[in-house]
Structure 1
Amino acid sequence: MPRIPLLPEHPADPQAAALFDEVRQARGPDFPMPHLYRVLATAPAMFRGWLDFAWPLRQNAHTPRPLRELLILRGAQISGTAYEWAHHVPMALEAGVSQAQIDALADWQASALFDGPQRAVLQLADEVTRGPAASNATLEQLKQSGFDDAAVVELVLTASFYVCVGRFLQSMDIELEPGDDALSASMRTADAPPTANPPSGPVH
């Protein structure tokens, strides 16, 4: 069970209800509200800030969406965040990432399925997610792969934001939506370093 109770799909709080309506206007009237949003909306002002940051980061960035989805999936894999993985595998496939690349992410360094820019982005995901920061060598590798300064900012910000997402999901112990178990089971984390204090409940 999540550590903060899920709000209902149609909450009584008018601010939360208005934000859910906004999400449905963007995603469709029958869009099932994700568990993540049903926890975030417990603090409507914070949920407002989340939407105002997360959606433009996803939709208004100029770096290719497939690259950013690979970055997000790799970060989810390193942190063991199954909820994030389950949500972004369909997004990655829709953006044009191949299933073979997704399957190879756990050992991307040894895979021939990733080109130079993709490898630079995956190295960025590894360093930012594990912390404390991306190295000068990796930032230089991004620039040598054709990314200008604005693109580097987008990619580092995306990697950093999804570290926040993973920490929040795991801290709140937010459970997968029904039907996502198979997707979460496809996440390989064999190369992720062990954590000193593993979460007490299911890992999301």
Structure 2
Amino acid sequence: MARIPYADPDRPEHREAAAHIRASRKSIGHLHRMLLHAPPIAAGWIDMYDAVRFNSTLSGKLRELVILRIAAINGAPYEWNAHAPIGLAEGMTQAQLDAVPEWETASVFDATERAALAYADAMTRHVHVPDDVAAAVRERLSPRELVELTVTVAGYNCVSRVLEALVIRGDDPLPPG
């Protein structure tokens, strides 16, 4: 159960941000119900992650691969469960999905995927990216894609930290609203 109750989107102070979330996501799930406690953050969150997920030139497969890696490293089951089906829909194979937690020893990833996974690992585990890891990803991605990859990794580390600090779980009962 979450550390604090989920916000009621029908409360007057939450309505505008709730409408913004619904316009993007159609419904308001657990994470967004929690974020509604801080309406400006909830609305900004939607704008940021819509840009990362829907307005990026980075391939959806690569994006979801690093999101799932972050979820695996950070022990974030909500994030994993939300993004595993998206990863498959974006072109990941079941073998790749299964290999994400131990990607270093798996043979199912190409050179670009391996470079992105190493980059995600470095950013997630150590913040500072070694020069050789940065060079490997820079050789395979355009400058725009590298910025998008970097923001995706940084952003989804934020997501997993919010989820886990507030103990947000997808099977928590949500009050009406």
Q: What is the TM-score normalised by the length of structure 2?
A: 0.91
Question: Which residue of structure 2 aligns with residue 11 of structure 1?
Answer: 10
Matches within 5 A, 1:120-139: 120-139=115-134
Does the Cα contact within 8 Å between 1:139 and 1:152 map onto a contact in 2?
Answer: no
Residue deviations 1:92-113, cap 9 Å, x none? Answer: 1111111110001122111111
| Shift, 1:73, TM fit | 0.1
- Quickly say closer, same or farther: Cα 1:23–1:75, change in 2 above 3 A: same
Q: Distance in 2 between matches of 1:85 and 1:77?
A: 7
- Quickly say closer, same or farther: Cα 1:117–1:53, change in 2 above 3 A: same
Alignment-mate amino acid for residue 6 of structure 2: L
Does the Cα contact within 8 Å between 2:70 and 2:124 map onto a contact in 1?
Answer: yes
2:161 to 160, 167, 179: 167
Q: Distance in 2 between matches of 1:4 and 1:131?
A: 30
1:42 to 37, 46, 56: 37
Q: Which runs of 5+ in 2 are unaligned?
A: 173-177
Does the Cα contact within 8 Å between 1:66 and 1:92 map onto a contact in 2?
Answer: yes
Q: Distance in 1 between matches of 2:37 and 2:65?
A: 30
RMSD: 1.7
Aligned residues with identical type, % of pairs: 34
SS at match of 2:107: coil
1:90 to 50, 72, 85: 85
2:21 to 20, 23, 37: 23
Q: What is the TM-score normalised by the length of structure 1?
A: 0.79
Q: Distance in 1 between matches of 2:152 and 2:130?
A: 16
Q: Distance in 1 between matches of 2:24 and 2:138?
A: 35
Does the Cα contact within 8 Å between 1:83 and 1:169 map onto a contact in 2?
Answer: yes
Question: Which residue of structure 1 aligns with residue 175 of structure 2?
Answer: none
Q: Distance in 1 between matches of 2:150 and 2:97?
A: 21
- Quickly say closer, same or farther: Cα 1:78–1:160, change in 2 above 3 A: same
SS at match of 1:5: coil
Does the Cα contact within 8 Å between 1:34 and 1:177 map onto a contact in 2?
Answer: no
Residue deviations 1:146-171, cap 9 Å, x none? Answer: 21222111111110111111111111
- Quickly say closer, same or farther: Cα 1:45–1:149, change in 2 above 3 A: same
SS at match of 1:61: coil
Alignment-mate amino acid for residue 122 of structure 1: L
Instruction: Give the total of aligned pairs.
Output: 173
Question: Which residue of structure 2 aligns with residue 190 of structure 1?
Answer: none
Question: Which residue of structure 2 aligns with residue 68 of structure 1?
Answer: 63
Question: Which residue of structure 1 aligns with residue 137 of structure 2?
Answer: 142
